């Protein structure tokens, strides 16, 4: 059972969440038109609605502006009750939140990267082992020099 939310609260909530993204003229028009209507159950998607069909496949091919419009549109829609979102919008929101894009789109390492990591790691540990070996050798030489300097000072 849905509870009716006062129109002013809905408008303020939508406007507050989108204050930082009003630089886009298409979003300004959409928000100005959608916040001035009294009936929020009507389909405001007729004014502006990005194409969500097969979004995970098309995401890498979209321009930066289209990506930003899609993200901002879905952020505004998610502020409202999710019952008002279509199935495609819910799928797109899920893809943007958890999908394989951006930092989550890390492909497996190719052979060059694996070889580079192996060589650099082996060099690092070789230098570390050599320095540990030379450190113990230097301590022995230092003790011998201290003993020799102690003997020479006693004999004088």
Query: What is the per-residue pLDDT for 101?
Result: 79
Query: What is the per-residue pLDDT for 115?
Result: 94
Query: What is the per-residue pLDDT for 100?
Result: 81
Mean pLDDT, consecutive 10-residue stretches, the chain (156 aa), reads 53 48 54 51 60 86 90 91 90 88 74 93 97 93 89 73
**Could you tell me which residues come within 8 angstroms of residue 14 by beta carbon, excluding any fewer than 6 positions away?**
31, 34, 35, 76, 79, 80
51 neighbors 67 (Cβ within 8 angstroms): no
Burial category of 114 from C-beta neighbours within 10 Å (exposed 0-12, middle 13-18, buried 19 and up) = exposed
pTM of the model: 0.42
Q: Which element (helix H / strand E) includes 120?
A: helix 111-155
Instruction: Write the Ramachandran bin of 102: left for phi over 0, alpha for psi from -120 to 50, otherwise beta.
Output: left
Query: What is the per-residue pLDDT for 131?
Result: 95
Q: 41, 17, 38: which is closest to 27 by C-alpha?
A: 17
């Amino acid at each position: 059972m849905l509870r009716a939310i006062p129109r002013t609260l809905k408008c303020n909530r939508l406007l507050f969440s989108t204050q930082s993204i009003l630089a886009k003229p298409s979003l300004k028009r959409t928000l100005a038109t959608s916040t001035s209507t009294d009936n929020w159950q009507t389909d405001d998607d007729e004014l502006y609605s990005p194409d969500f069909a097969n979004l995970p496949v098309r995401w890498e091919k979209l321009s930066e502006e289209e990506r930003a419009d899609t993200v901002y549109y879905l952020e505004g829609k998610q502020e409202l009750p999710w019952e008002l979102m279509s199935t495609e919008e819910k799928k797109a929101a899920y893809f943007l939140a958890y999908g394989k894009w951006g930092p989550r789109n890390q492909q497996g390492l190719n052979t060059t990267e694996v070889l580079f990591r192996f060589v650099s790691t082996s060099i690092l540990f070789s230098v570390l082992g050599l320095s540990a070996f030379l450190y113990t050798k230097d301590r022995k030489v230092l003790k011998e020099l201290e003993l020799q300097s102690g003997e020479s000072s006693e004999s004088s």
